Amino acid sequence: MYILKKRSDYLKAAKGLKYVSRGFVLQARTHLSSIDQPVRFGFTASKKVGNAVYRNRAKRRLRELARNTASKTAQSGYDYVFIARKNIFDMAFSTLENDINIAMHKIHKPRKNTNQHS
């Protein structure tokens, strides 16, 4: 599992696709350069989640969810950023896994191209 390290990668992902869940936000973007790029994940938690102990705990939960659930349905050439929300501690791990599966399905769902004129 490759981890995003540069702030610019997080900012680029913020401009891509987004799915909001009760416990997390998933942002995703595809690399335009090459589809053969590895899947990369990023994890973040703001101070709204809590102090450093809670933020680190939230990121550990997100990393485990990405390792177990999201990596199975992730597509190569994508960057995924998980943003923890305060409710992440109120939710059961199995519920979060289900939300991740829904989020990944919604992110990769084909979209109609609205730029084409008939």
Work out the average pLDDT over 17-24.
95
Give me the pLDDT at residue 113, please: 62
Q: In what order do the strands lie in the sheet with 2-3?
A: 2-3, 40-44, 78-84, 24-30, 17-20
pLDDT digits (tens, 9 = 90+) for 46-101: 999 999 999 999 999 999 999 999 888 988 889 999 999 999 999 999 999 999 99
The model's confidence at residue 37, banded by pLDDT at 50, 70 and 90, is confident
Domains, the chain, ordered by start: 2-107 (3.30.230.10)
pLDDT of residue 118: 42
Tell me the CB-side half-sphere exposure of residue 65, using CA atoms within 13 A.
Answer: 32
Cβ contact 40:79 at 8 Å: yes
Phi/psi at 113 (5° precision): -85, 115
pTM, two decimals, is 0.88
Q: How many beta carbons lie within 10 A of that of residue 52, not counting itself?
A: 9
